[in-house]
Amino acid sequence: MKALSNHRYHILFTFYCVTLMLALTGCNSKKITLSGFQNINPGQPWPDADSVHINAHGGGILFHDNTYYWFGEYKSEHTSSAQVGVNCYSSTDLYNWKPEGVVLPVSDSVGSDIEAGCVMERPKVIYNAKTQQFVLYFHLELKGKGYSAARVGIAVSDKVAGPYTYLRSLRPNAGVWPQNMTEAQKNSSVTMADFSDWWTDDWMAAVHDGLFIRRDFEGGQMSRDMTLFVDDDGKAYHIYSSEENLTLHIAELSDDYLSYTGKYIRVAPGGHNEAPAIFKKDGTYFMITSGCTGWDPNAARLFTAESIWGPWQQHPNPCVGDNADLTFHSQSTYILPVAGKDDAFVFMADRWTPKKPIEASYIWLPIQFENGLPVLKWMDQWNLSIFDESNEL
Ligand code: GAL
């Protein structure tokens, strides 16, 4: 009897100690490093520190003060329009993410650019070392106007996890010609009125020659799917689908990252590229994009250039293996350089679920290199140790 109660006491005491330990750890949960996950599981639900599937779609990541901040679209159950705003999570290991909350909420004011029900897509944040401000760009469509506004929204904050102050929206580069348009293209008298039908060979040739650039010259160029890129020299670029999603533009931002210098180029005119994601390795710029099929996946495209100003050269689809022609059922959003590791880049993409947007999952894959070019292979599960092995195949 005595032995049994001693034993019971022992169990109770151990239970008490463990509970106390858990409670104390729980109290400090904001300070401790979360260590639940040690892998990335592409396409699977990805619980945050509160066990809720991460809600940061079309996102991008900023590494700041030894922490990764993931910004993305807060998607709702039944609509892809913005009901909440731009969401943020933080992590020190890329596997375990703590919710930082909504950093740029939609507005309640009727007529506001970012009124609830507008479209806020593909948010990206960069840090300006000179102004010490965090600058957020996103694709904005005005409430009730479908995708016709084709604007970029800009917001700033002194703190990485916000709140961000919304500044304005615009169509970039009003009244300025791209660097790589010829005098003949600028002065051409061909207009939209010359075409009763779109998508004919003549129309495509006119698009190639700047039909939409001329149409939108005064009001600024259309700006939809987008990313931001900060180069080694601190210069930042806005890369966006323009000209009715037919042509990508790369536009240089001002020193404070809040406006445009007016220097910009067209990339792959008429090539129908969306979802641009870019990185730089050994002096070469690599850009992965998608084609234009809405929420449905298609084959990724790969471009390289020795200067951000081009020329940009197209290569075959970087994905290989099953479902390579559908980018493993996903669409690019960002390419993340892994902090502290050389030549380690993570391809980030979205597997959209437009019937239930909140359930969309994340396809993150390590970028491998073959003959100097990026290669993407499906993996059910992986972790950063993959970058410790040589990734030049
Ligand atoms: C996709 C685009 C998404 C979203 C969607 C709307 O092509 O990449 O960000 O705009 O179209 O249909």
Q: What is the pTM assigned to this prediction?
A: 0.90
For residue 389, what pLDDT is reported?
76
What are the residues whose beta carbons fall under 8 Å from the beta carbon of 101, sequence distance 6 or more?
87, 88, 161, 162
CB of 117 closer than 6 angstroms to any ligand 1 atom: no
Mean pLDDT estimate for the chain: 92
- Residue 12 in this model has a pLDDT that exceeds 80: no
pLDDT, residue 35, reads 57
- 252 C-beta closer than 6 A to ligand 1: no
Residue to mutate (ligand 1; options 227, 274, 350, 355; most atoms within 8 A of CB): 274
Residue 324 lies in a domain: yes
Atom 5 (ligand 1) nearest CA = 294
Query: What pLDDT digit, counting tens, does each position of 145-175 carry?
Result: 999 999 999 999 999 999 999 999 999 999 9
Instruction: Check: CB of residue 124 under 8 Å from CB of residue 56.
Output: no
| C-alpha closest to that of 247 among 262, 264, 267, 227 | 267
In the prediction, which pLDDT does 21 show?
43
pLDDT at 23 over 80: no
Q: How far apart are CA 259 and CA 61, in angstroms?
A: 21
Question: Is the confidence at residue 222, as pLDDT, over 80?
Answer: yes
Residue 391: pLDDT band (50, 70, 90) is low
Domain count of the chain?
1
- Residue 24 gets which letter from DSSP? H
Q: What is the largest CA-CA distance in the chain?
A: 102
Instruction: Say if CB 90 and CB 98 are below 8 A apart.
Output: yes
Distance 289 CA to ligand 1 centre (A): 12
Instruction: Please tell me the predicted confidence (pLDDT) of residue 303.
Output: 98
Backbone φ, ψ for residue 227 (5° rounding) = -145, 170
Q: How far apart are CA 278 and CA 335, in angstroms?
A: 6
CA dist 32 to 28, 35, 237, 346, Å? 6, 9, 36, 25
The number of the ligand 1 atom at minimal distance from the alpha carbon of 80 is: 6
pLDDT digits (tens, 9 = 90+) for 343-357: 999 999 999 999 999
Domain presence at residue 77: no
Quickly state the pLDDT bin for 261 (edges 50, 70, 90). Answer: very high
266 C-beta closer than 6 A to ligand 1: no
Nearest CA, atom 11, ligand 1: 294
CB of 294 sitting under 6 A from ligand 1: yes
355 belongs to a structural domain: yes
- How close is the Cα of 342 to the center of ligand 1, in Å? 32
Q: Higher-confidence residue: 19 or 251?
A: 251
Note whether residue 85 is domain-resident.
Answer: no
188 located within any domain? no
User: Which residue's CA is the closest to the ligand 1 atom numbered 12?
Assistant: 294
**Ligand 1 near 354 CB (within 6 A):** no
Q: How far is the CA of 295 from the centre of ligand 1 (A)?
A: 6
Residue 353's CATH number: 2.115.10.20
Average pLDDT of the segment spanning 115-137: 98
Q: What is the pLDDT of residue 33?
A: 46
Would 151 be classed as within a structural domain?
no
Whether ligand 1 lies within 6 angstroms of the CB of 275 is answered as yes
| Residue 372 lies in domain | 275-393
Give the closest residue (by CA) to ligand 1 atom 6.
Answer: 294
> How much of the chain exceeds pLDDT 70, in percent?
90
The Cβ of residue 67 has, within 10 Å, a number of other Cβ atoms equal to 16
- 339 assigned to some structural domain: yes
Inside any domain, residue 50: no
